[in-house]
Structure 1
C-alpha cells in the first residue's frame, strides 16, 4: 500500500517523470566507471566507494532520543504493570532514573546485575537493579579478575544468542530502542528485593520486560495503530524525529549521483516509508537506488536469506538473485546477492563497499566482518563533547551518566591521552571495525563527498569532527 502511494505520486506529472528517468539513466551510466585505486589506510573519502548502504533509524532518520526513550519506557512500564501485575512504582517517570541509561550495558539475567565492561571483558562498574555494587561485591560475585565468562563469548560477535537453541544468560542494551528496557528491568528487580519475599537466588524478570518491549515494535502494529509506539510517531512526528536539513539532502543526492546507494532498514516497509517521507520529504525514494526493509541485521550481512517482493506492506514471493533490480524495493535478503547486483551494474569485479549506521553490533561489527568498510554513527560524541568542535546534542544530559561514567573511557589510566584511553567495550568497536565515527550525518554533510578525512589507523583517529573531549584531559 505504501509503495503504491509512492508510485502514484511519482506518476502525477509525466514530464517530471520523464526528466527523472533521463537523470536516472545518466546517473547509472555515470556510476559504471573504471575502479580507481583505493586510498591509504589512514584516509577516507565517501567518493572512493562503488556502493554505499545507509541504515534508516538513527542514521538517515535522526530521533530526538530523549523523547523517544521516555515514550518507550512509559509503554514498557504500562504493559508490565497492567498485563503482568508489577508494582505501580514502575510507572514513575523514567527521568527519575535517567542517570541509569547508557548504551552498552550488559544484564546478567539470572543475578539481576547490570555490568559495564571493558574492551577486554573486565567489569568496570556494576549495579544490582539500580543499586550500585561496591568493588568487594563485584569481586565476590565475579572473582578477583572481575571477568564473567559469558561476556568473553559475547564479545566475539556481540550476539545475545551465541548458541542457537540455548537459553541466553545475558542481554545487552545496544541502542536507544532497547535502553529504556534496562531501567524497567532494574526497577522491577528493586521492587522484588524490597518485597516481603526479598531478593531471589535467580531472577526471571527479563522475560516479561522483553515481551513488553517487543509488543511496542510488532510489525503489524503500525498499520493497525496499536502498541502505543507507532501511533505516537504518527500523531506527533515533530516531537520524536528531526527533519533532514537541506544541506544533508544535497549531500545525499551528491552521493547517489556518484555511486550506488542503498537504504537498508530492519523496519517494515510501511513504517520505514512513513518516517523517511517525514525526514526527507515526499521524494524520499529518489535519494536511494535500492530500498531494503525488514533486513534482519546482522543476518543480512552474514546469512543467505532470500529477497522477497512486496505486496503492499507484506512479503510476497521470493526474488531469484538474477531477477534483482537496482531500482526496486525489497524485503529481507542478504548482502552477497546485493553485491553481485552491484558487480553487474557497475562493471567492477570487487566493488568497494561502505555501510553507515548507528548500531555498533549490527551496522558496524557485522558488515566489517563480511568485508565492508563502515562509518559508525555515535551520538555520544556530541553528547559528551568533541575537541575543537562546538556541535552539541539536544539530549546530551540524557545520554551522560554520572554513575556509569563516560561512554568512551571509565576508570582508565589518566596518564594516557588520545584514542588509546578508550577502554569500554562498546566505544572500542569503532576503533576496530569502522573507518570513521561521527555524531550524525549532518557532520559530514558540511563537506563535499570527495573531502578527505583521517580514518582510524595505528597513527590516526577517525573520530570526526573531533575526538571525545574526555580523551584529552
Structure 2
C-alpha cells in the first residue's frame, strides 16, 4: 500500500510553521512581501555586499574598520541588540534572556545572570533592537565587531554602546537610500538571487482557487519590476508575466506603518514609474506607490480577518 503521508518526505525548507491557529477557509485574499519572501536571495552574497557598503561608510568617517570582514556565522535572525550593555542576546518567547555575547565574546553564565537576572525584554523600549529579518545580519555582525573596537578604545571618544548602534543603523540606512546595494543586485542578479520555479506556480494555483493575490513591498517600483521579472517570468508559460498573478501591486508601501496609518497612494502609470495621485478607490490590476491597508480592504470589499499577509519578519 502506498504511503499517503507525504509530509515525511517534505524538505524542511518547504515546511510551513505556525505559532497560532489559522483558518484558511475564511481567507479570501493573500498579500505577499517580496524580498526574502517571494524572492529568495543568497544571504551570504546579499548581506556581504550590504556589509561592504556599511564598511565603506564607516571608513569614510575615518573609523579603523579596514580589517573587519563579514561573518555570516556571527549573527542570526531573531537575536536582540542590548544598546545599554553592548550585547547580542537570545531570548525565549517570554522575554527571558538565555544566551548573551558582548561584542563577539560569549558572556559567561554567571556574568550573564548578574546582568539580566531581573531583566525582561520589552521590544517597545529603546534599549532593545530586534534583528527580525535577514536584512539585519550585516547590521548585527558589524555592531558586534564594533563593540570589540569600542572596548579597545579604538573608536572616537564619547561613543557609548547605544550611540554606536545608532551610527551603524544610520550608515546602513544611508547606503540603502542611496541605492548602492540594489544597483549591485540589478547589475548581476544571478549572483544575488536564487529563483524558485515552484513559487510562481504556487501563486497560480492560489489564483485558480479563487483567492485575490497582492504584492505589497517596501521596495520601489523599478527594482520590484526588474527583480520579479527575473525571478518569475521564465517559469510562467503561455506568455504570462508576474503581473498576471496579482490583482494588486503596491510598492514603497512603508510597512509596518502601511497597516496602521492612512497615507496617500499614487498610481504608477507607465513602466518608467511616472506617478499620478489617486483620487477615489484603487483599481484592480494596477500598480501603486504608498497607500494603506484600508484602501486594500475597500478595493476587495473584505475585512482584515479575511486577508492574510505573508512576510519575512519575526514577531
TM-score range (shorter-chain normalised) is: 0.7 to 0.9
Moved over 4 A (4+): 41-45, 196-201, 348-351
Query: Displacement of 1:63 after TM fit?
Result: 1.0
Over 3 Å counting, the alpha-carbon distance change for 1:355 and 1:55 in structure 2 is: same
1:359 matched to 2:313? The reply is yes
2:146 match: 188
1:56 matched to 2:55? The reply is no
The whole-number CA distance in structure 2 between the counterparts of 1:198 and 1:268 is 36
Residues 108 and 114 in structure 1, CA contact (< 8 A), matched pair in contact too: yes
The whole-number CA distance in structure 2 between the counterparts of 1:278 and 1:242 is 10
1:139 matched to 2:90? The reply is no
2:229 match: 277
1:65 matched to 2:65? The reply is no
Over 3 Å counting, the alpha-carbon distance change for 1:340 and 1:205 in structure 2 is: same
Query: Displacement of 1:136 after TM fit?
Result: 2.2
Residues 265 and 293 in structure 1, CA contact (< 8 A), matched pair in contact too: yes
Query: Displacement of 1:49 after TM fit?
Result: 2.6
1:74 match: 52
1:256 matched to 2:207? The reply is yes
Residues 103 and 173 in structure 1, CA contact (< 8 A), matched pair in contact too: yes
Residues 103 and 175 in structure 1, CA contact (< 8 A), matched pair in contact too: yes
Give ranges in structure 2 of 5+ residues lacking alignment.
1-19, 235-240
Query: Displacement of 1:278 after TM fit?
Result: 0.7
Residues 130 and 187 in structure 1, CA contact (< 8 A), matched pair in contact too: yes
Over 3 Å counting, the alpha-carbon distance change for 1:263 and 1:86 in structure 2 is: same
Residues 309 and 330 in structure 1, CA contact (< 8 A), matched pair in contact too: yes
Over 3 Å counting, the alpha-carbon distance change for 1:201 and 1:351 in structure 2 is: closer
Over 3 Å counting, the alpha-carbon distance change for 1:171 and 1:350 in structure 2 is: closer
Residues 261 and 289 in structure 1, CA contact (< 8 A), matched pair in contact too: yes
Instruction: Give aligned pairs, total.
Output: 286
Residues 207 and 213 in structure 2, CA contact (< 8 A), matched pair in contact too: yes
Residues 216 and 251 in structure 2, CA contact (< 8 A), matched pair in contact too: yes
- Work out which of the residue numbers 94, 98, 103 in structure 2 matches 1:124: 98
- Work out which of the residue numbers 122, 127, 141 in structure 2 matches 1:169: 127
Residues 38 and 199 in structure 2, CA contact (< 8 A), matched pair in contact too: no
Residues 297 and 303 in structure 2, CA contact (< 8 A), matched pair in contact too: no
Residues 33 and 312 in structure 2, CA contact (< 8 A), matched pair in contact too: yes
SS at match of 1:114: strand
1:214 matched to 2:173? The reply is yes
Output the aligned Cα RMSD: 2.7
SS at match of 1:205: helix
Residues 28 and 306 in structure 2, CA contact (< 8 A), matched pair in contact too: yes
The whole-number CA distance in structure 2 between the counterparts of 1:326 and 1:276 is 19
Residues 174 and 360 in structure 1, CA contact (< 8 A), matched pair in contact too: yes
- Give matches, 1:396-415, under 5 Å: none
TM-score, structure 2 normalization: 0.82
